Structure 1
């Protein structure tokens, strides 16, 4: 039985076949022989031909014949090739033996049929005829060995290749900032990884929901991370994505998670009244009024204004409204501009209102009247009435001034006074005075004053001083000792003093006694009584000065006595003195 054809290695042997083709290109071949010539010559070439012949079935030749109808011109051989070598397919190169004759054998049509049908199959069949003589393959093999043995010329070191240009990572945090009937505003954040090539910009792409027909909406890369996609059709549902672009190409896309419906976002209108307008807004006459009141709502609300329930006078008040706020402007305010301003914003069937009070004020007028009610001594009593014109705000006080008729100079005696009457004191006797009053409010003091029609004259009158009568207090009191005498002991020859204190009214008379005997003007004793403190000094008492001493106080209301015992001791004598 015929042996099984050897398996043809296709992918693994393509590279060696290409190397042999570069080493030696085949000679220009004559016109291709008939398709039947290839099988006839195959048995005559070497030992490998039968193996190839057995592997080819009988019908292989007709299958290969159409590929060899029209030969292609061979590629010219390189300058360093010694001789052309027959072309081999990858399958034939893998099956050829190691001797020099085997490489010269061209693959049979059967082997060519087994190989992939590429563009080189037809020339390989046509070049089989020149390889039949056997001399050219031998010369080609020697030339190939000589070329391999020859040393290669040294080459200059190749510089390192530049780093590859890589695109950035995809943008992040893409979401919708705003949208309306014809546009969608998107914002995003830059990629986390940009690389050394930098970032040229972003491309914004859209596609209708349900399709993948992405179209860029910006011609040039967008530098900013915010873009407004305009000229859209209301009601379209679009997919949106953003791509970062640099020298390395496009990054991955960052797309919205869901398609966007192009439609106005309907928000209920809301007036955002500033805090300083929530209370009464006060301005002076002639001041410029410029108030901005923001509001929200979609689609754009319709704004309207009224003053005290009536339409605004556009000649006096200018209103400028935008998509987000409304401005009230008055070039020079007047008192007639005061009132309650109400703002109304309306979207479809929804509306919101807010109001503020504008008050234009100026200096007040003078008090309506001033008169002198009474004059007495050095004092004058005044009364006045509030002004007719308060300057469109409340009166905060009054100022009162006086002027001496002799000099005519005005001096302020009361300032920021809240009552409507006052008493002016400390006036000079014999002088005549005039008085006037001013009004005050938030803007200041009135420009004019009201002067009292009457004059106040302080008369010179005699003064009789009558001292007040006081009832004398009865302080009569019988004598009473507040401090009594204490018993004492002393030594012969050492002076001592007895003390006590007494009170009474009238001042009582004090007497000292010894053993119930009155001590007179004896120089041995010294008696002192000052401010009710009574003392008896006994100068160098002897053995007979001891006894009971008494102090007696007496006045018209009675008498009192205190006593004490005085002991006089002998001095201690040493034993030597006794002997």
Structure 2
């Protein structure tokens, strides 16, 4: 449920006015022509016998109820030259402060206040002087872009266009300084608007380098750019001098001094080059070098060298260089070269079989072959033995030895060719042997015998065709 509004308490002055007899209304005095002004707080209604006292001047931004003009035509309050009074506020509740809005800057405002109670209106209290309406002032503030809060670097010949926005009301007065002095309008163009200022240089030169400062001012308030931007840069000049300090062995020591013209920025390094006097071609030996002394190594014996140095900065490498006047000559020295003596390696090795012979079983009438492998240095002599007897030039046996692979081929062996075969390898370092057993079997003719099924099952247990169970 919404709560009931609190009762309005009447002021003591209003209660006294209700008890007193109501005075007869008097004619309003003729309005005084004056520009608009803000009204001061009105005092409580006085008794009818007393004349109303003039209210003190209103503070800036305050106001008070203005007496209603009964027959006055509606006209905008505060219009210069207007003789009509306009009601700005009429309330039955007592107030002592009121703000008059929507006024026009530059006008003059006349203000009068009338106290009202149920018995009627009091005599109006009018300000002694009109109040001038002034425009609202906003303090100026420069909104420096982030990229301009540090030092700005530009190359000579580039176009410079800096836009710096600002705030302020009314329109601030913008001024520029270079190194504390006014700008040269022949070189620098400045364009100002209500919101920003533009500094424009079509083609920057070396003389444009410096500290630029912008300030904006509104009445007694002023703001300056918090950062400074400066420095138009270019390529550096060459080092002032370079000299050959010493040369020894295959090395040369150089020393140079920084350039007089650094291009308006710090030197970031040096480039050192060498040239053989025979070919005249330049080669870079040190790049982005930061010291003022250097040692060039790996020079060729018998050649003469010249050296030159370039300076570097953020823009690039200097167009010119400094060249040494002296020439570094790498002298030839007499050297008797004696090749090292290495002991000859002895590759001699006693025979050793890497693959031995394997026992075999052969069939009568079918050629068979025995194989083994041996190594040794010098190349060993190979001999084959059968039952400890050397096999001579028997055409039945064929002996081969190739790249350490030894073979013995037995052509159509018979049952008498079985036995122990030995391969023997000999050289100056020693000998080695390997043996195997060869068994030559006779082939029997196959006998086909038909047996009953029951006997076959029994004979499956025996591997001999002539089973004893038969």
TM-score, normalised on structure 2? 0.53
Native 8 Å contact 1:490 1:496 kept in 2: yes
- Alignment gaps of 5+ in structure 2: 1-74, 78-101, 108-133, 449-470
Residue in 2 that maps onto 1:491: 363
What corresponds to 2:244 in structure 1? 371
Match in the other structure for 1:387: 258
Q: What displacement does 1:418 show?
A: 2.6
Tell whether 2:433 aligns with 1:561: yes
Tell me how far apart the structure 2 counterparts of residues 297 and 535 of structure 1 sit (CA, whole Å).
Answer: 114
Q: 1:314 to 1:528 in 2, by over 3 A?
A: same
Structure-1 separation of matches of 2:217 and 2:205: 30
Match of 1:450 in 2: 322
Larger Rg: 1
Alignment CA distance shift 1:453-1:574 (3 Å): same
As a proportion of its length, which structure holds more helix?
A: 1
Match of 2:275 in 1: 402
Residue 528 of structure 1 and its aligned partner are, at CA, apart by 3.6
Q: Does residue 233 in structure 1 map to residue 104 in structure 2? A: yes
Answer with 340-349 or 292-301: which moved more.
340-349
Change (3 A) 1:529 1:270: farther
Q: Measure, in 2, the Cα distance between the counterparts of 1:493 and 1:552.
A: 27
Q: What is the CA-CA distance between 1:573 and the residue it aligns to?
A: 5.0
Q: Is the 8 A contact 1:267 1:299 kept in 2?
A: no
Instruction: Tell me the equivalent position of 2:193.
Output: 322
2:408 aligns with 536
**Higher RCO by CA contacts (8 Å cutoff, separation 6 or greater):** 2
Question: Contact 2:382/2:426 (CA < 8 Å) preserved in 1?
Answer: yes
How many residues align? The count is 316
Counterpart contact for 1:399–1:439, Cα < 8 Å = no
TM-score with structure 1 setting the length: 0.44
1:515 aligns with 2:387: yes
- Distance in 1, matches of 2:155 and 2:205, equals 8
Q: In structure 2, how many angstroms separate the alpha carbons of the residues matched to 1:313 and 1:267?
A: 24
Mapped to 2, the partners of 1:297 and 1:512 lie a distance apart of 120
Q: CA deviation at 1:371?
A: 1.3
SS of 1:537's equivalent?
A: strand
Task: Say if 1:491 and 1:285 are closer, same or farther in 2 by CA, change over 3 A.
Answer: same
Q: What 5-or-longer segments of structure 1 have no aligned partner?
A: 1-206, 210-230, 237-261
Change (3 A) 1:363 1:351: closer
Pairwise CA distance, 1:292? 1.6
Alpha carbons of structure 1 residues 445 and 575: separation in structure 2 relative to 1, 3 Å: same
Q: CA 1:279 to 1:511, structure 2 compared with 1: closer, same or farther past 3 Å?
A: farther
CA contact (8 A) 1:509 1:555 kept: yes
1:100-499 equivalences under 5 Å are: 233-234=104-105, 264=136, 266=138, 269=141, 271-273=143-145, 275=147, 277=148, 280-301=151-172, 303=174, 311-315=180-184, 319-330=190-201, 333-335=204-206, 337-338=208-209, 341=212, 343=214, 353-355=225-227, 357-367=229-239, 368-371=241-244, 373-374=246-247, 376=249, 379=250, 381-385=252-256, 387-389=258-260, 390-393=262-265, 394-402=267-275, 404=277, 410-414=280-284, 417-419=287-289, 421=294, 423=296, 427=300, 429=302, 432-457=304-329, 464-473=336-345, 478-499=350-371
- The CA deviation at 1:265 is 8.5
Cα distance in 2 for residues equivalent to 1:533 and 1:399: 67
Q: Provide the aligned C-alpha RMSD in A.
A: 4.4
Report the Cα offset of residue 233 of structure 1. 1.0
Distance 1:479 1:425, change over 3 A: same
State how far apart, in whole Å, the 1-side matches of 2:254 and 2:387 are. 85
What is the match of residue 116 of structure 1? none
CA deviations on 1:367-390 (whole Å, 9 max, x unpaired) are 3313163254xx553524353333
- Change beyond 3 A, Cα 1:274–1:566: same
